[in-house]
Chains A and B, each alone.
Chain A
């Protein structure tokens, strides 16, 4: 069953704590993306990676970090420097042939 998986579905963070959101894809896509969505808003790009061991900042990268050690995986760390981390986080990968991005089910992060 091919697709994009994100875990966990819900994540709780304490003040001052770093948390890592998982994103895995078995679609053999080169490019992967992280977006953030706040209530009633569209998606905003945090980071993207077009190839293994390379990634670029998106529009709202401050307070976040990523790694891309494997083609299948693109984890996002929400650091303590992100002052307003409560949001819905979405991972996507790009099909270069079909010129489209496909999204995972999302992780909802809540701050305790």
Chain B
């Protein structure tokens, strides 16, 4: 699995876009980029994943650089309920390796 690097914490104002960066310079060509989030004392929640192309769903957008060495998760209009630890994972879907993630705090 690819090693990923994320900032330990970030802040965002409610209603603004939250942009969470992730570096995964060792990702191989067939490994996906996955994003999960975990609200305190709950199980991780799947957000989005991608291989090469940018992806969008009802929760977020995922922007992957052309060289696939980094990506950005975008929450377009952050709410207080988006406060959580966000994990960026580079790997195959059958085995996920979680780092410490980024604690995103959405402030009123």
Q: Indicate if A74 sits at the interface (CB-CB under 8 A).
A: no
Q: Which of A12-20, A60-68, A77-85, A96-104 contacts B (4 or more CB under 8 A)?
A: A96-104
Give the number of chain B interface residues (Cβ < 8 Å). 19
Q: Indicate if A42 sits at the interface (CB-CB under 8 A).
A: yes
A-B contact count (CB 8 A): 49
| Cβ-closest chain A residue relative to B32 | A99
**Contacting A50 at CB < 8 Å: which of B46, B94, B96, B101?**
B94
- Consensus secondary structure, chain B interface: loop
Report A8 CB to chain B, min CB distance, Å: 14
| Cβ-closest chain A residue relative to B93 | A99
| Cβ-closest chain B residue relative to A4 | B43
- Alpha-carbon distance A50/B93, docked complex (angstroms): 12
| Cβ-closest chain B residue relative to A41 | B100
A100 pairs with B46, CB closer than 8 A: yes
What are the interface flags for A37-53 relative to B under an 8 Å C-beta threshold, 1 for contact and 0 otherwise? Answer: 00011111100101000
Report A55 CB to chain B, min CB distance, Å: 13
**Contacting A48 at CB < 8 Å: which of B46, B87, B95?**
B95
Residues of chain B within 8 A of A90, CB atoms compared? 43-44
Given A40-B100, A42-B87, A42-B98, does the pair A100, B49 have CB atoms closer than 8 Å? yes
- Alpha-carbon distance A105/B31, docked complex (angstroms): 27
- Alpha-carbon distance A92/B94, docked complex (angstroms): 11
**Contacting A94 at CB < 8 Å: which of B94, B99, B100, B101?**
B94
B98 pairs with A43, CB closer than 8 A: yes
| Cβ-closest chain B residue relative to A95 | B93
B44 pairs with A103, CB closer than 8 A: yes
A102 pairs with B46, CB closer than 8 A: yes
Report A59 CB to chain B, min CB distance, Å: 8
Q: Indicate if A106 sits at the interface (CB-CB under 8 A).
A: yes
Q: Which residues of A contact B (CB under 8 A)?
A: 4, 31, 35, 40-45, 48, 50, 88, 90, 92, 94, 99-106, 108
For this complex, 6 residue pairs linking A to B, each with C-beta atoms less than 8 Å apart, are A35-B98, A40-B100, A41-B100, A42-B100, A43-B96, A105-B42
